Copies of this chain bind each other. A is one copy, B any other.
């Protein structure tokens, strides 16, 4: 059985990660119309919007889960976002991830090990539809979104903006579930299936010395108990 082109990914237990909070990140737009107007204005200045998003995996009950931001009751999105004009995709994705997920304490910065592109979606028009191809007769799509798989370290501390909620959703819950997650996120199970996911079981806690250092640095003593990784 060859493993032709199937990269191996380690997926660690969700309990290996600490989830704290940090200052809120305000949304730039308060509704879809505002968002589309801004897209249009930027398109006229800079051309096609480029976005990069991260697929971050954790393991729970021996099944892979994807980390998603949940907005309100029914809107989910992957961490990541719009790249600056000319910005390198991987650098831009790391910037977005640190902005949205890393603690402000410099000693706790996460090294984002960005892997390969798993899918690419295009927005052909100034509306909310995306497709995993450029539809015929479209010569200038308005946005290109690339989804990268990111290998998480064995352990790390996340800091989630106070106005946002991070959830870990099982892959089986995303599958064939366009009504709840939309076409991009519900296609994740299929695009992830080419990876060989090495599900890691719960690991012993780090040695006491290291643990002490971590507590000293992170300052999330109490917030660690508000772990935000409930499957919806």
Task: Choose the segment among A27-35, A131-139, A156-164 that binds chain B (4+ C-beta atoms closer than 8 Å).
Answer: A131-139
Q: Which residue of B lies closest to A183 (CB)?
A: B176
Choose among B6, B61, B116 the residue that contacts A5 (Cβ–Cβ < 8 A): B116
Interface residues of A toward B: which range?
Answer: 35 or more
Given A136-B61, A176-B183, A5 and B191 touching (CB < 8 A)? no
Choose among B4, B121, B148, B190 the residue that contacts A148 (Cβ–Cβ < 8 A): B4
Q: Is the CB of B63 within 8 A of A136?
A: yes
Tell me whether chain A's interface is mostly helix, strand or loop, or mixed. mixed
Copies in the complex: 2
Given A61-B136, A136-B62, A175-B133, A88 and B194 touching (CB < 8 A)? no
User: A118 at the A/B interface (Cβ < 8 Å)?
Assistant: yes
17 A-B pairs with C-beta separation under 8 A = A1-B88, A2-B89, A4-B89, A4-B115, A4-B148, A5-B115, A5-B116, A6-B116, A61-B136, A62-B136, A64-B133, A120-B194, A132-B190, A133-B175, A133-B192, A191-B193, A191-B194
